[in-house]
Structure 1
Amino acid sequence: MECISVFDMLKIGIGPSSSHTLGPWRAGERWIAQLKKANRFHKVERISVDLYGSLSLTGKGHATDYAVLLGLSGADPERIPVDTIDVIIASIKNTKVLLFNNEHPVTFDMATDIVFHRKFLPFHANALTFTATINGRKHKETFYSIGGGFVVQEERKISKQNKHIFYCTFPYPVENGVQLLKFCEQLKLPISGVVLENEKSIRDQETIDYELERIWNTMLECMFVGCHTEGNLPGGLNVRRRAYDIHKTLISDDLPFEDPHEWMETIRSTEVKFRQILKWVSCFALSVNEVNASLGRVVTAPTNGSAGVIPAVLMYYLVIENHEADFEHIKKFLLVASEIGSIFKKGATISAAMGGCQAEIGVSSAMAAGALTELLGGTPEQVLVAAEIAMEHHLGLTCDPIGGLVQIPCIERNSMGAIKAISAAELALDTDPKNVKVPLDKVVNTMWETAKDMNTKYKETSEGGLAVGVNMSDC
């Protein structure tokens, strides 16, 4: 059984897409490591990159070409200053030289050395092949970006030598909801407690807390930046940022705050009638995905395209539901959310190129719903009920981004997913799990069957739905 850590499900990276940006970026890093291990890195004379399937069809809108170049340049998506991205890309375009891993200059022409192929490779819809020319001979490696920033190679997918996936050394390995509840009962722990015990088997408590706090601070910073940035998003659709405008209607200009944490305290002092609550949740969700759409830094939750749902729901709890909440509440929320996401990844998919938007917004809504339920006092059984409710009402959701950009309908869908998550949590808290007709594991299986039945044009190809119903020229 594959063991998926909370830090596999929640990764810090650059937008706009975990599968089309962060995944190819990480693939470039993996390829460099392989070349170095084989003592071939400094012998590379030329590089080319072939993109296939969804990576090709929506690659321009998702900045896949940029991500590949940044990965090959040795930049770290977790720490690269966002304002240097355009500088690096412009340098490669203008000089036709790629500083391979920031140490070895290689001739590279973006116009000819990145090739977009419409065909799909059989293993996965998101495929890319790196080719290195060494002494006139070509050496190829193909990688698959399988959603949420996860990257595999076909021949290594089930190999225990793959060090990029934890194979189960967890003391309490979980593949589905039934197993998770069994461990909760056995250990007399909430879901967050079981997940924490597994994490402690591979990392010390101090590291876990430090990394979870870093993830939360990245989410908070992302919301803060999104709510205080005005203008239109890049890409050609001329989509106006709405989080800034909504934020202005919700908070007075004369209320003082200088950083994200002071901002949270200020929000706690604002009016919280039902309409304001809806607007705040939407504002938080939109803000994250507007940052994501502009190549900003976000946290995959479980993907970049759905990165706004979990921060929005967690922020709702912190500034609306529980003003006394502290890091322990944040930690529990993230632990529960990651475990629910991992169940969907193991039993179905978190890749929109494989399952449509139900695999992104649907999964993120389920993750947030379950996590919120535990914080609101729900039992482990009710946590899974909430996750099931949230996914049940996203089944069949298509992925049809206009222009291949993670903007329309993606940004608004984060708002909808967050609101549904809160509703699902409240429904679950008033539900006796013994009366539930659809358990979480059934909805996971149904989601996967729905994904397999879904027409390819609705799976992140921009060949169906809104992507063809609304032209770039209409915008």
Structure 2
Amino acid sequence: MNTSLFELFKIGIGPSSSHTVGPMRAALNFTLHLRQSGVLQRTSQVRAELFGSLALTGHGHATDKAVVLGLSGEAPDQVTPQTIDRILASWHTDGNILLAGEQTLALREGVELLFRRDQMYPDPETPSHPNGMRFTALDAEGNPLHMETLFSIGGGFVVNADEFGKQSSVAPRNVPYPFHSAAELLEITKKHSLTIAQAVMANEIALAGDEATVRERILAIWKVMQECTEKGMATEGILPGGLNVRRRAPRLATRLRTQGSADPLAPLDWVTIYAMAVNEENAAGGRVVTAPTNGAAGIIPAVAHYYLNFIPGADVEGILRYFLTSAAIGVLYKENASISGAEVGCQGEVGVACSMAAGGLVAALHGSNDEVEHAAEIGMEHNLGMTCDPIGGLVQIPCIERNAMGAVKAVNASRMAMHETEGHKVTLDQVIKTMYQTGLDMQSRYKETSLAGLALNVIEC
């Protein structure tokens, strides 16, 4: 186990963890390396190249903006919308930083950004992750001074070419209850008479120092999610990007408040609204929490709101159990499969978030560890094969509604698991393996390239 809860749940900006947050981190780290190594003083030009999914849908996912912000020294968890506007304005060359359809975008003298839309990988001879990027610093004569090839592997995680594919060889972190599979996690918790949440808390304490710090940081993440939901439910208008998609969460919330709670399915309507509110904020480039990605960021907070607002006796301890348990499930997907839509399709984003939320909700409701595992398995089993086919490369259609559907599925999965008394046939480990194999078999044009599916068959208007 090498992934912390606080690496799965990261505060950042929309619209994409792999296409916005990851490239911003990569560009920032490249800039910091140039400064710290002394290479920056000899650098006359910086070239940033995007490949694969980053090149094909980068325009819609604001990857170009993210690279600019990273090269400007900004981090996704620190930058504000006001700062973004100011920095991008300073980089304008002709009043419009985004030149749609251009192969090469000259941002500022000495810096260029290239969309390699005809090349899937930085090194065609060595196929790797489809979210590839290459940064090169050149001197006045055009000679390379320093080059880095990096991959944004989902959820805002970035690895360089040397690290890619070698994560399993990294020394495990020193935690009291390391686990590498759901079966191992269940065995450990049974042996030590722990809930999954208690085991994860002990691991996080080993990394952070004390329980108070872990609790405080989890609740800080939850606070950002709450603020994002509230803003999404209050902000009206058209989402950026050219599809003219209108925000629906505020209107739906007003209608539901007017109707009252007579409808027995009203709680599920609220789950839908919470999820859509967050993802509309994400699509607008607002502050969100990767959970485990931006594209699926509405599911975890929506189900948490459902727990707090509609479950009698819900409290902060339940919220802590929810996040600790959902993180354990997310770690299993992150380390044994993928949370990247460009690698395995939307099953790796919405499907994983649904699985995490389903298991987390069972824990919040004091369900057993076996019921947590069962709910997480159900949450993914019925998202298997989901493609990533965003229209116009934007995280809007079908992404916003998919979050709503994923959140409702998570609630249903938790109820199914907690009502079952005779066990289940498919294990979480089996469904994680199946998801990954399905993703690898999926044609690349269905994995965040906007070359197939809805992206091809729906006219952008």
TM-score, L = length of structure 2: 0.92
Indicate which of 160, 177, 200 corresponds to 1:153: 160
Deviations 1:244-269 (A, max 9, x none): 1011112259xxxxxxxxxxxxxxxx
Mapping for residues 27-426 of structure 1, pairs under 5 Å: 27-94=26-93, 108-109=107-108, 113-118=112-117, 119-121=119-121, 122-136=127-141, 137-138=143-144, 139-157=146-164, 167-204=172-209, 205-251=211-257, 271=261, 273-322=263-312, 324-426=313-415
- What residue number does 1:12 align with? 11
1:159 to partner: Cα distance: 6.8
Q: 2:423 aligns with which of 420, 432, 435?
A: 435
1:447 aligned partner: 435
CA apart distance, 1:43: 3.0
- The 1:272/1:377 distance shift into structure 2, 3 A limit, reads farther
CA distance in 1, matches of 2:61, 2:376: 29
Following superposition, the deviation at residue 48 of structure 1 comes to 1.4
Distance 2:193 2:247 in 1: 46
Give the whole-Å Cα distance in 2 for the aligned partners of 1:243 and 1:368: 21
1:21 is aligned to: 20
Residue type at the aligned position of 1:87 = R
Offset of residue 210 of structure 1: 2.0
**Compared with structure 1, are the counterparts of its residues 111 and 58 closer, same or farther at alpha carbon in structure 2 (3 Å cutoff)?**
farther
SS at match of 2:425: coil
* Percent identical: 46
* 2:17–2:290 CA contact under 8 A, matched in 1: yes
Question: Which of 443, 454, 459 matches 1:466?
Answer: 454
Structure 1 residue 376: deviation in Å? 1.4
1:331–1:62: structure 2 CA closer, same or farther, 3 Å change rule?
same
**Partner Cα distance (2:228, 2:386) in 1:** 26
Q: SS at the partner of 1:131?
A: strand
Number of aligned residue pairs: give it: 443
| 1:183 to partner: Cα distance | 1.4
Matches of 1:111 and 1:332, distance apart in 2: 50
Unaligned runs of 5+ in 1: 99-106, 254-269
Check conservation: 1:286, 1:412, Cα contact below 8 A: yes
Letter of the aligned partner of 1:384 in structure 2?
E
Q: Distance in 1 between matches of 2:138 and 2:355?
A: 46
How far the C-alpha of 1:158 sits from its partner, in A, is 6.6
* Pairwise CA distance, 1:214: 1.2
Cα distance change of structure 1 residues 158 and 61 upon mapping to structure 2, 3 Å threshold: closer
Higher mean displacement: 281-290 or 271-280: 271-280
Per-residue CA deviations over 1:69-115 (Å, capped at 9, x if unaligned) read 1111112321322133122112101499x9xxxxxxxx943998110
Q: How far apart, CA to CA, are the structure 2 residues paired with 1:355 and 1:50?
A: 23
Give deviations 1:50-84, integer Å, cap 9, x for gaps. 00000000000000000111111112321322133
Query: 4+ residue stretches of structure 1 with deviation over 4 A?
Result: none
Higher mean C-alpha deviation, range 9-18 or range 31-40: 31-40
| Residue pair 1:374, 1:383 contacting (<8 A) in 2 also | yes
Secondary structure in structure 1 of the residue aligned to 2:242: coil
- Residues 272 and 320 of structure 1 are in contact (CA less than 8 Å); yes or no, is this contact kept in structure 2? no
CA spacing shift, 1:247–1:54, aligned 2, 3 Å:
same
Question: Which whole-Å CA distance do the structure 2 matches of 1:135 and 1:185 have between them?
Answer: 63
Separation of aligned partners in 1, 2:71 and 2:339: 25
